[in-house]
Structure 1
Amino acid sequence: MISIVVPTLGRPSLAVLLDTLAGQVGELPDPEILLVDDRRESTGELSVPGALATYTKVLTGPGTGPAAARNLGWRAARSPWIVFLDDDVVPAADWCRRLLADLVVGDLVGGVQGGVRVPLPAHRRPTDWERVTAGLAEGDWITADMAYRRAALADAGGFDERFPRAYREDAELAHRVRRAGWELVRGGRSVTHPVRPESRWVSLRTQRGNADDALLRRLYGPYWRTDLRLPPGRRHRHVTVTASGALALVATGLRVATGGAPRTALGALATAGALGWLAGTAEFARARIAPGPRTPGEVATMLATSAVIPPLAVIHWLRGWWHSRGECPGAGS
């Protein structure tokens, strides 16, 4: 028996996922599908294809994020293997058949990840948001398609519900599963993860994830990225750019408010801060613009957001650092 857990916000992509599963789920022995409706305010029942009705149960999630929704799902599941799928992926036509093969593993293997393919435009360079989404294809142990033994989830305590976003919660769980003595491997099945439409300002909203990074720093110390197998970030550069900008603003304000000899020193500080901010912002913008389509709209968006992201990232990090004071390692409730 295999259980498939799908936390969802009721997005249209869910229908595509369920239709794809409906055509092949019969290949699984005694399958079980648990949809966790995690919408804060229900706008109607989730639609389930008739071919899946026998296998599907809809659970009402707590509305506090995917970590809590997945915990609700796997704890309600009846199978020794739990497969987590995101509601915006499309399983390959042979996904169920390959899933069965993937789960024929040794007793020490606690999880098997499926491959993730992110289709990008063939006629132009990808935008910044498209490249961010494409990074999922290189991620380790992401729950876009991740199967875990129930025993491994129980040993690790499940997902840590202190992580409220679809960000880092899967990497953090995988770290605790490995720490509990289980092995994680990659399988042969795959899903497609289309790039969903987003606002041109989506990069500003995603900076909230810096608060989760601060929590990870609290829990796992200065080498948390290495321990959790996460790519290097730009936080130190963001701090430098933000500090330079703040120095320029403060020195300029003091220069205006004071007179006499100190004005020369304050002017030098203001100039140094402004140059540091300008150089850092320009480097960040260039790094985001160069690999992109370089259309006027994309360039304008990158310039504007590259100026705002560093201080916004620092603010979210500090907010997360403050809120996570006194936190200790361990799974959520």
Structure 2
Amino acid sequence: MIHATIIIPTCNRPADLERCLRALQPQLQQHPCEVIVSDDSRDDRTQKLLAAEFPAVKIAFGPRCGPGANRNAGARLASAEWLIFIDDDVIPSPGFLAAYLSAFETAADKTFFHGLTVATPEQTTILLEAPEVLGPLQIFPSCNFAIRRALYEKTEGFDGRYFPSFEDMEYCSRLQAQGEQCGFVKDALVHHPRRPLPKALALARRWEPRVISSLDLGADPIPLSFLLTKHVALVILSRFRGQRPSLDTLRAALLFAHEFAWYLWLLPSWLWKHSRSSRSPFWELQQTLGNVPRRYGL
């Protein structure tokens, strides 16, 4: 019998977490699995929720330095052969767990999997966001994926330097560079409700991990400042693709303009900080082997 541990990182979202766990409950009755909630919250609401409503769920305490490090904290308590990672704000479909367990039974050379992530409701405004995965990918968000625990431990999990974003993209890239085989489980479906875009400063801070990644891949700080700035500008412009003029697009334009201004203000400090920090030994080795993307993935 295949055993799995479901790991759910959370941070100050007890209502979302409760909705997620309630969707899992009937599936766990049919397919008992270990469930670990890794809590990065600043208060005790999540602890009280689990104690009152979900006493069988184990709790881990994250280091409060980002989602990657929080997932690692949960994984360290896991005991099963396979780890299933979902986010606290997703809603697993009724067949979610059974689909993954079936895939593990026939995994063969597959060492990690990802499922289907559908953003809900359909896109109605540019001011809402959610990750979406509608088919097999090699690089995917970490809100719905599974991996053999042995491989996760061998690769030391997520890189804790990546905060507040990009930790999942870096980890998928690392697995791909090592030749690990990824499988796609269509019926392992989660719904991801769209959420309002954060404020401009929070949006801008999402670009800091790209500085870390590019430096890991061998970029020099000064050329990187120009290359990344061009990349950020193009990504921001691409968000308007297919959008019709409206009050929401005007609001988004103002928000993204402020995001870009904050990015320009913060970029010098990011370059100074991370160019003096240690870099990833794994990606330094990949540089010598010629296994890094052109233009540092930008």
TM-score range, shorter chain: 0.7 to 0.9
Please, which moves more after superposition, 306-315 or 182-191? 306-315
Q: Deviations over 1:92-151 (max 9, x none)?
A: 011121111222344432210011000234xxx632233x42555577332111101011
Q: Report the equivalent of 1:252.
A: none
C-alpha separation between the residues in 1 aligned to 2:112 and 2:231? 35
Q: Which amino acid aligns with 2:273?
A: H
Extract unaligned runs of 5+ from structure 2: 220-226, 283-298
Extract unaligned runs of 5+ from structure 1: 223-232, 240-279
Q: Report the equivalent of 1:153.
A: 152
Percentage of matched positions with identical amino acids: 21
CA apart distance, 1:317: 3.5
Q: Report the equivalent of 2:176.
A: 178
1:87 to 2:93 alignment = no
Q: Deviations over 1:269-319 (max 9, x none)?
A: xxxxxxxxxxx9xx967x6556346432x1331332243233322333333
C-alpha separation between the residues in 2 aligned to 1:164 and 1:17? 24
1:313 to 2:266 alignment = no
1:94-105 map, 5 Å = 94-105=95-106
Q: Which residue of the other structure, out of 214, 218, 243, is the alignment partner of 2:215?
A: 218
Change (3 A) 1:8 1:14: same
Runs of 4+ in 1 over 4 A off after TM superposition: 49-52, 134-139, 287-290
Change (3 A) 1:179 1:134: closer
1:191 to 2:199 alignment = no
Q: Report the equivalent of 1:7.
A: 9
Q: Which amino acid aligns with 2:84?
A: V
Q: Which amino acid aligns with 1:206?
A: L
CA apart distance, 1:330: 4.5
1:251-266 map, 5 Å = none
1:205 to 2:202 alignment = yes
C-alpha separation between the residues in 1 aligned to 2:241 and 2:177? 40
C-alpha separation between the residues in 1 aligned to 2:236 and 2:101? 45
Compute the RMSD of aligned alpha carbons: 2.9
Q: Report the equivalent of 2:230.
A: 236
Q: Which amino acid aligns with 2:49?
A: S
Q: Report the equivalent of 1:247.
A: none
Calculate the TM-score normalised by the size of structure 1.
0.71
Question: Normalized per residue, which structure has more strand?
Answer: 2
Calculate the TM-score normalised by the size of structure 2.
0.79
Q: Which residue of the other structure, out of 242, 257, 266, is the alignment partner of 1:291?
A: 242
Q: Deviations over 1:148-172 (max 9, x none)?
A: 101111221111101121x210111
CA apart distance, 1:46: 4.0
Q: Report the equivalent of 2:290.
A: none
